[in-house]
C-alpha cells in the first residue's frame, strides 16, 4: 500500500472518530509523523523520544508533553530532564520506581508511587516518612533492610506481613532489621522466625 493511500485511510478514521485524528495519535504512535504535513517541533520531538526515549537528552527545554512521553516509555530517562514537574516525576516512578534516585526532594506522593512500583527504591529516599516506610514493608518486608532506623511500628508491620511465603527463612528478622526492638524480636520468635 502506498504512503498516500495509508494517509487517506488514517485521515478518514480521524474524521469518523476525532479521538483518532492523526495530529493526536502521533503522541501515541510516533511513526505516524510521516503522514503529517508540516508537523510542529513538539510533534517531531515526541516522535523522536518514542523511538528512543534517551534522545530527550538532546532536546533543549523539552515541553512537559515530550517529557511525559519519554518517561512513559522509560522512566530512567528522568536523569536527563532538568527540574521535572511533579506530574513528570510521578509518571517516571510509576514506570520505574528506581527513577526516584534522579529526583531531589521528591514529594511524599512521588515517594509512595515509587515504593509501590518497587519497594526497594526506598534506598534512594532520604528520611522517608513513616507512611512511606509502612507502604514499603507492606509491599515487601525485606525492603526494611534499606530503611535507616525504622520505627517499632514499621518493624512490627514487616514481621507481621503475610505477603511473602519465604518469610520463614530462619533468622531473616535479625538479618534484615537493624536494631530490632524487644517486642519485634518476641513477635518474630512467636512466628518461628
Helices 152-160 and 130-139 pack at an angle, to 10 degrees, of 10
CA atoms within 13 A on the CB side of 133: 21
pLDDT for 167: 58
| Confidence (pTM) | 0.81
pLDDT for 96: 97
Q: Where are the domains of the chain?
A: 137-193
pLDDT for 163: 60
What is the 3 state secondary structure string of 112-132?
Answer: HHHHHHCHHHHHHCCCCCHHH
- 3-state DSSP assignment of residue 22: helix
Locate 66 and state its grid cell.
515530550
pLDDT tens track of the chain, all 193 residues? 676 776 677 676 767 777 777 777 777 778 777 877 888 888 888 888 988 999 999 999 999 999 999 999 999 999 999 999 999 999 999 999 999 999 999 999 999 999 999 999 999 999 999 999 999 999 999 899 999 999 999 999 998 876 655 556 667 777 888 888 889 888 888 877 6
Cα distance between residue 111 and residue 132, in whole Å: 7
Amino acid at each position: 500500500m502506498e504512503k498516500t493511500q495509508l494517509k487517506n485511510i488514517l485521515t478518514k478514521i480521524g474524521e469518523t472518530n476525532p479521538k483518532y485524528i492523526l495530529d493526536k495519535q502521533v503522541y501515541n504512535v510516533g511513526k505516524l509523523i510521516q503522514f503529517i504535513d508540516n508537523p510542529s517541533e513538539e510533534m517531531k520531538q515526541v516522535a523522536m523520544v518514542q523511538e528512543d526515549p534517551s534522545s530527550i537528552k538532546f532536546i533543549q527545554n523539552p515541553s512537559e508533553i515530550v517529557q511525559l512521553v519519554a518517561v512513559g516509555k522509560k522512566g530512567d530517562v528522568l536523569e536527563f530532564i532538568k527540574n521535572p514537574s511533579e506530574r513528570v516525576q510521578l509518571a517516571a516512578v510509576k514506570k520505574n520506581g528506581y527513577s526516584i534516585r534522579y529526583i531531589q526532594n521528591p514529594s511524599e506522593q512521588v515517594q509512595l508511587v515509587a515504593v509501590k512500583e518497587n519497594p526497594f527504591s526506598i534506598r534512594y529516599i532520604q528520611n522517608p516518612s513513616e507512611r512511606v516506610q509502612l507502604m514499603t514493608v507492606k509491599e515487601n518486608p525485606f525492603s526494611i533492610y534499606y530503611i535507616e532506623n525504622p520505627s517499632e511500628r514499621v518493624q512490627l508491620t514487616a514481621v507481621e506481613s503475610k505477603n511473602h511465603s519465604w518469610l520463614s527463612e530462619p533468622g531473616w528478622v535479625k538479618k534484615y532489621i537493624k536494631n530490632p526492638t524487644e517486642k519485634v524480636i518476641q513477635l518474630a520468635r512467636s512466628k518461628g522466625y
